[in-house]
Structure 1
């Protein structure tokens, strides 16, 4: 079968397809979209438009999300703890409560993200999260800071899962690792420029507001502005993208039909799919992996400036010295994406390599003497590269979990594990990274076993009739229900 045949499927009776498609799919004139006969040049133009608009937009938004997380650590270098009279472990609790808010809202968000228009729900969440960030400037004591941190976590709960679902809607399985990494690159950029921004704000001489209040107000206002832009541009599905022509929307829908993961299945929450997500082995292996590796993320993210300050650097210089962390993440992210994009079945392998590199960084922080500042700074920088596994982990979900409800539930559970891991202390980092690699090994073993079992039971995927394969995509069935579905490692 040629690439053109693979990408552009047609059935003589489109009405048959409408019967197996979700109701909201029929509302966007599925028949006309399936009958679009796109040329390779037209398909490349659609892909170019998606890359030019969607990826930078989501990347900038995700950059702000991470800068907002770093803001708490940076504000501590700008006298937040002294001004709010935080005692003992109160700063740690105020930092951790963010993840509790994220955790509490993750499950309701997985329901709403299916029931409501995806693009609009994510955009409103971004706008609200920016507002909650600005509210930090109004905190007068520990209680006020705890409240704003909790609701900031609520506001951010929909962002990363929502962007992962958008990527799965618009891109083929083989395209997803690089595109997930494309918007996640904003996270790395935030590490590089976040310290510079905080340093600049820290040098502002103001008699009306403190520097840490300015930090929250400026970052929050920018974030809410981005939320307004997202509301206008971010589509709910390929069939409603305002930056594509009617014909290009049809091409965008056709491009991802071979994913068999559902691109137009939004509108109703399938409780049977939620149950299938809970009993699927890959769900729990991904949950255990994300929990384990994030045992050290809270310390690296929330306390990075404090850790560097503890090495003997001044408060403002500690903000600038966060930049190497972002540089290391960019290098490892680009390397992992390049390898996984051009060498098949290497996504999980690259995730294991990144975890091993972070272990080396943690060992340097742990074992090097206090006098070896350069070595310990290298350890801090490399210790954060496990975070570059996030886009690869999300690409596994968007490629290997079929059924929109099931995919949203799995994404929510992954970020629940992420939050719980962040709430725990940094002392468990080494064990967490080792266990993370162990669960990745189990995950790849499960994928290989399941693919071979299906090959024996149902034959190779290439033997499946085109009409049956396309019907699978439009049926809103899960990956465990489709004999032609194969997992990507």
Structure 2
């Protein structure tokens, strides 16, 4: 399948006239979407050939996906620096107890948690690319400063600030994906940049091994923070300079390409961008059951992540490997995660529409199998336990599908940023709680931690099943309401009106 484009009619349909009072200038709109400004001259796109659309989407792919993918790789490497610092001696050098190490794993997400809602509102207010780049630079800077910590308290403060700097990253990636791609294309694109999660684990293993070879004036764990922090900060500067903020203002696109990039999103019924914070959409988000389901999915999906990302190296080291070999053994784990994500989005794309929930559940099953294996396979069977550990990486593929369900099913720009914040509040809570299930006196088996993963997975499966049933029911209800009363122009008028999914009866949910 060619993922660069979808079928496009040779002639774009006539659109209703745009009322110029709705438009001020290209990045500000009174009530509707910023995309309206592109059509303020009343010009329509004519004779749009499928080959032209494919070229445009490929151009967008090459512009957007490398930035997000590299950033996401650093994002995960950053999260695992403490895990590698643990095997390089930070616990001994700073006199950290097992409980203090667990707290250091969690306090990062307290900063994330506190700043999640404010940073999402700032994402709406400021240019997305510039704001994302600044935050990436800051998280790299604060990661470097962690090398200067002298005790538990100093390291705690720096990790809280680092968490706040990273709070915008995942929501920004989701917002960017929804601004540039159709709902059909979003799962594959989310899968492609999220695959860098696995690449980050593998690259983190290589960097960890290389840093472990350094014999300098500083302990190895300090080089871990300094080198990875410097790389993150440099990439933040690159993003600030080169990543476009939206298809409406992208300098890499011609005037016609901007219109075509926006026109292909019309059927999404979710718009592109609106810089006006709308309190009514904030209230609707907090009263919408879907938003709370996404929060619970973020929580249940990341209790396992919170434990594995911080204790994974310690679990592997418990199999009897040396410190440097432990770092290298993370590489197959990262490769497996990447493969599972790519397979999941490919399978989803090959199936008929509205099977995302089914695929999400399907890719939780290897994770459950691996977790049960870690519980019951004897510790003497190191190869079998290592394979089971690797299988736990499949939950990442399910979370990619969950993110694509969110981006496809929430409309209204303010409501989108609130919902993005809410799922990552759940992600934060899960990552905060996860490490505390891994008790030092249970090392290296961590039986309670593994059982927390199993229970979380079953809760996640139940939530996904509920989401599928409820969204399908709502679509049937809307079809019944609109049967025989759907003028042709309705969908065109609502596409860029910045209506929420509840306000817009033309909106259909994807599940």
2:288 counterpart residue number: 280
Q: Superposition pairs for residues 33-432 of structure 1, below 5 Å?
A: 35-37=44-46, 38-207=48-217, 209-265=218-274, 267-343=275-351, 344-424=353-433, 425=437, 426=449, 427-432=451-456
Q: TM-score w.r.t. structure 1 length?
A: 0.95
RMSD between aligned residues:
2.0
Contact 2:38-2:259 at 8 Å conserved across structures:
no
* Partner residue, 2:446: none
| CA displacement, residues 347-376 of structure 1 (integer Å, 9 cap, x when unaligned) | 111111122221111111111111011111
Query: Which whole-Å CA distance do the structure 1 matches of 2:421 and 2:452 have between them?
Result: 24
> Which one is further off, 34-43 or 228-237?
34-43
Whether the aligned pair in 2 keeps the contact of 1:33 and 1:249 (CA below 8 Å) is no
Deviation, structure 1 residue 5: 4.8
CA deviations over 1:243-283 (Å, ceiling 9, x no partner): 21222111111111211111032x11111111111121221
- 5+ residue gaps in structure 2? 1-5, 24-28, 438-448
Partner of 2:497: 475
User: Where do 5+ consecutive residues of structure 1 fail to align?
Assistant: none
Change (3 A) 1:7 1:363: farther
Instruction: Quote the offset at 1:288 in angstroms.
Output: 1.5
CA contact under 8 A between 1:128 and 1:155: conserved in structure 2?
Answer: yes
Report if the CA contact (8 A) 2:363-2:398 is conserved. yes
The answer (yes or no) to whether the contact 2:281–2:500 under 8 Å persists in 1 is yes
Equivalent position of 1:451 in the other structure: 475
What CA deviation, in whole Å up to 9, does each residue of 1:396-423 have, x standing for no partner?
A: 1211100111111111110110111111
> What TM-score does the superposition give when structure 2 sets the normalisation length?
0.91
Of stretches 3-12 and 103-112 in structure 1, the one that deviates more from structure 2 is: 3-12
Query: Do the aligned partners of 1:402 and 1:479 also contact (CA within 8 Å) in 2?
Result: yes
Separation in structure 2 between the aligned mates of residue 9 and residue 483 of structure 1, nearest angstrom: 21
- Flag the structure with higher helix content: 1
CA distance in 2, matches of 1:298, 1:313: 23
Partner of 1:436: 460
1:14 aligns to 2:18 (yes or no): yes
8 Å Cα contact 2:9-2:49 kept in structure 1: no
1:331 deviates by 2.2
| Contact 1:261–1:398 (Cα < 8 Å) also in 2 | no
Q: Does the aligned pair in 2 maintain the 1:358–1:386 contact within 8 Å?
A: yes
> What does the per-residue CA deviation read over 1:294-332, in whole Å, with 9 as the maximum and x for residues that have no partner?
221111101111111122211111111112211221221
Asked if the contact 2:33–2:497 (Cα under 8 Å) also holds between the matched residues in 1, the reply is: no
Superposition deviation, residue 465 in structure 1: 3.6
Deviation at 1:97, TM superposition (A): 0.3
The 10-residue stretch of structure 1 (93-102 or 308-317) with the greater mean CA deviation from structure 2:
308-317
